[in-house]
Structure 1
Amino acid sequence: MKFKVILSFLLLTTCLVAFSQEKPSGKPKQHDMTVNEKGLIKISVMYPYAEGKTFNMEYYETRHMPMMAGFIGSNLVKYTIEKGLSGRAPEDPLPFMAIGVFYVKSLSEYRAAVAPHINEILADIVKYTNATPTIFVSEVVK
């Protein structure tokens, strides 16, 4: 009897562990937003707002950023997408329509991964914006 109880417990525990693990969905991996970012390289791609400038957030979120994540590969820790709402105060002009940020382990690996695809990347930018992005590369200190 004791053996059956232990066996049942082990079977139940195994099932709970197996069914509680994340299953592959075939969708692109969502990047963990709780990652400790200290020491990572941060590539911020900022799209300035100006009269007549446009930005297609849906395309950027569903096509461009996943494409970039694919190019960057395992060097990518996570990426974020920000939609501009206002400047410093509500009446201030919007400084940026959007900002895309890549957190990577190595800047040289990032550059090596993106370089062969630069023409494809530049051709894709015009599909979602007519603004010229500003790029800021930094190291996360804290």
Structure 2
Amino acid sequence: MIAVTILYPAKEGAHFDMAYYVETHMPASMHRLRSALRGATVSQGLTGIPQGSPPPYFAVCELLFDSTDAFLAAFAPHGEWLQGDIKNYSDVDPIIQISEVKIHE
């Protein structure tokens, strides 16, 4: 199993519309990727360490797929829409990483 992790850095003066992301972007994204998507989480940054410091990320999204090939096959037909919608909720460039999942409960 692989995880596609999308991190949105919390930069000073940057914009991130969590309501749009959770209520519009993610449901539409999950629908488009449904043929291969095995699970998804979205987390909103609350604080950094030490506690009380600003969170390093506005949001972190993790999408689970059986393999990188499965993800790429599901993403390919929708990539333009998925990436194009970012401007509707944020002005920061996301950091994206594909990882092999070692523990999943």
The Cα shift of 1:119 comes to 1.7
Q: In the alignment, does 2:83 pair up with 1:117?
A: no
Tell me the distance in 1 between the aligned counterparts of 2:79 and 2:102: 29
The Cα shift of 1:93 comes to 3.1
Q: Which residue of 1 aligns with 2:61?
A: 100
Structure 2: tracts of 5 or more residues without a match: none
The equivalences for 1:5-44 within 5 A come to 40-44=1-5
Which secondary structure state, in structure 2, belongs to the residue aligned with residue 130 of structure 1?
Answer: coil
Q: In the alignment, does 2:90 pair up with 1:137?
A: no
Structure showing greater Rg? 1
The Cα shift of 1:92 comes to 3.0
Q: In the alignment, does 2:16 pair up with 1:59?
A: no
Greater strand share, 1 or 2?
2
Q: Which residue of 2 aligns with 1:7?
A: none
The Cα shift of 1:90 comes to 2.0
How many residue pairs get aligned? The number is 103
Tell me the distance in 2 between the aligned counterparts of 1:76 and 1:118: 15
Whether the 8 Å CA contact 2:36–2:74 is kept in 1: the answer is no
RMSD: 1.3
Q: In the alignment, does 2:79 pair up with 1:128?
A: no
AA at the equivalent of 2:13: G
TM-score by length of 1: 0.68
AA at the equivalent of 1:96: Y
Tell me the distance in 2 between the aligned counterparts of 1:54 and 1:81: 17
Tell me the distance in 2 between the aligned counterparts of 1:89 and 1:106: 36
| Superposed CA offset, 1:110-135 (max 9, x none) | 11211222221122111011111001
Query: Deviation above 3 Å: which 4+ runs of structure 1?
Result: none
Which secondary structure state, in structure 1, belongs to the residue aligned with residue 99 of structure 2?
Answer: strand
TM-score by length of 2: 0.89
Q: Which residue of 2 aligns with 1:14?
A: none
Structure 1: tracts of 5 or more residues without a match: 1-39
